Amino acid sequence: MIITNESDAIKVIIANDKPCIFVDTCVLLDIIRIPFRENLVNNYFDMDRLSRDNIANIVMSEINLNEYAQNTQNVKLELERHIVKVKNHMMKIEAVSNFVGIGFDLLYKEIDTYKLPDAISKKIDELIQRAIVIKVNPESELDGSRRASRKIAPSKSGQINDSIFYSSFLRTWEKLRGMAYVGKIAFATSNTSDFGKTDHPFYPINDEIRSNTITYVNSLSWAMHEIAK
């Protein structure tokens, strides 16, 4: 993991000469939720590729890193409850199938309720260890505070963290493009309530990502697809 300021992060990105995926906290937490969410399983395999193969710069803000650490345990508990619920359902299916004479053994008994959430979070940690983590500087903090006070997306509700890390990302994008960086850049967030839907990001985010040629996506798999084009 490289924890650095915006200027040095830009130098690392340019030196690496690879496309970039800027990652929001919710995208990482969604990886833990894969077993009880539809259409997310490819994110797990793509995350593993990102961790194993050096195919893109993974960029985060230190705010994302802190938010992930603060929320990981609660999301792991969500997964544990889901596993218990599934195992209870499977127990009923097994009992009924045995009763009607078509009994079969189900593998649910071999699933450890607690090992799976831990194993997934360890995989996410491997991805984070490959990331470039940008420290929040006073300028981004001020920009983010202004957006939050004016309730400008992504802070329509007045929340400040999203505005600060987004301001840091935006400053980084603008500087990269100003230095003639032509690599593909994807911004991955599933937080549509604050950033807007992928086909309709909120104003002025829509103009900001367009002017900096940023692809706005809601998952790692989609980001991987876009940077591979």
pLDDT, tens only, 79-120: 889 888 887 877 777 777 776 777 666 655 666 777 888 988
Could you list the residue range(s) of the whole structural domain that residue 139 is in? 2-227
3-class secondary structure per residue, 169-200: HHHHHHHHHHCCCCCCEEEECCCHHHHEECCE
CA-CA distance, 198 to 203, in Å (whole number)?
12
DSSP class of 5? -
pTM over 0.85: yes
pLDDT tens sequence across 133-181: 999 999 999 999 999 999 999 997 767 999 999 999 999 999 999 999 9
Q: 17 — alpha (psi -120 to 50), left (phi > 0) or beta?
A: left
CA-CA distance, 219 to 201, in Å (whole number)?
Answer: 15
Could you tell me which residues are beta bridge partners of residue 214? 185
If you search the block for the tokens 């983590």, which residue do you land on? 133
Domain count, the chain: 1
